[in-house]
Amino acid sequence: MSDTRDEPVDASDLTNAGAPTSVVASPKRLISAAAAGDAPRKVLHINGSFSEKEPPTSSHISQSDDHPPFNPPMPWFGIDVGGTLVKLVYFEPQEVLPEDAAEEVEQTKVILKYLTSNKTYGDTGIRDVHLEMKGVPIDHHTGTLHFIRFPSSAMEKFIHLAKAKGLSSLNTTVCATGGGAFAYEKYIRQEMKLELNKFDELESLISGIHYIEQHHPEESYYFENPLNDETCRKVPHSIRDLYPYLVVNIGSGVSVMLVESRTKFRRVWGTSIGGGTFLGLCCLLTGCETFEEGIALAAKGDHRNVDKLVRDIYGGDYSRFDLPGDTVASSFGQMLDPERRKNAKPEDLARAVLVTVTNNIGSLAMMCAMNAKVDKVVFLGNFLRVNSVSMKQLSYAMDFWSKGKCKALFMEHEGYFGAVGCLLEYMNLGRQNAHHGGSSDK
């Protein structure tokens, strides 16, 4: 992937793309709220200028409005370290308080410039500029959320980069969730002298969903006429407070959660056949090396040259059970024929793998929805990034098999919710430690 950046970046910076877990920076020192009462206070902007500012109103509050502003040491970021992909969410506040600025603003400006003046980092680290959210509130601060991803295989390079850019000089603790928090804990401690605070992966995910849905009105949507290229369109459909619903998180594997309120949810099922399965089989069968390559191949392929359909067995529809003739009866069933196997094209194999994995996920989601008696299923995760084929297939399948009663919904920020949730946890952790006068280390 070619670089599209404004200044030179070390080649050893961030690298590829992949799936989920989460990490966040935690304060080296704790700062009590700077202003009390209703008096305005001086605020230092990132560019170094001061201005008078009234106390924050409820419009600045992201989660609760019954506490004063809190300003932990910067930078404010969260990382979701998955089995395939790492996602980083960085919050760029419009201003910081003077007591923070005196000690940290210069280093923060260096980090800010590096993260926001580039769209790519090294060979494969990417900032998803189209997902950027401006003017959003977090704990009485207003700013911009930036979304960055790179492959989990580049995690060690990221740690070295973070060390080189001075992140460990501002913090002593990292807040993490998911498998990567355990896999890299020892390495982070050795290389950056940082300790980990681990947070629950699913709690971070659901917290992130609620936050983004609240502050991005057109976050969730469904497809109308998903299989018709001419008339297919995305239709906004908010899930805010529309409980209950299912969340199907598709990363390397798949987890299914029943969400009954902002605080009540549980994991109800899962499967090992997910995004990692698709990429692994594509690498094995086609020689591709990245998720993007696999999806690009699949988009050009025809799975009917690989799969055995109902019409291949019955000569048409199986009307007794309302099975259309183009329904897959046996995934890769045509590969039993030596001649077909010899002539199989890489793009057809990739498409068949994609259809197989997507059908499995759709069937699982449909059964879970029926069992939980819900009519809304939210599909998210990095498996769906640049993967409109699977989203449209899931949309059609959920509508067809439920006879129009169950709707498949999707979200614009796909796999970043765990990282957002961990960012929120960082803010809460800092406030709790400030309140108790203790260290953030555990």
- Rounded-to-integer distance, Cα 257 and Cα 250, Å: 11
Instruction: Assign 155 to helix, strand or coil.
Output: helix
Element (H, E) at 255: strand 254-259
Alpha helices in 94-184 (DSSP H): 98-116, 155-164, 179-183
Strand ranges across the sheet with 50-53: 50-53, 41-45, 95-96
- In the numeric block, the tokens 């989660």 are attached to 63
- C-beta of residue 176 within 8 angstroms of C-beta of residue 79: yes
Which residue in 264, 131, 150, 276 sits closest to 202, CA to CA?
Answer: 264
User: Among 92, 95, 104, 201, which one carries the catalytic annotation?
Assistant: 201
Rg (alpha carbons) of the chain, rounded to whole number: 24
- Rounded-to-integer distance, Cα 110 and Cα 93, Å: 14
Query: Is 339 annotated in the active site?
Result: no
Amino acid in the structure at residue 380? L
Sorted by sequence, the CB contacts under 8 Å of residue 262 that are 6+ apart come out as 210
Sort strands 376-380 and 50-53 into parallel, antiparallel or unpaired: unpaired
- Rounded-to-integer distance, Cα 158 and Cα 165, Å: 10
- C-beta of residue 387 within 8 angstroms of C-beta of residue 217: no
Q: Which residues are catalytic?
A: 201
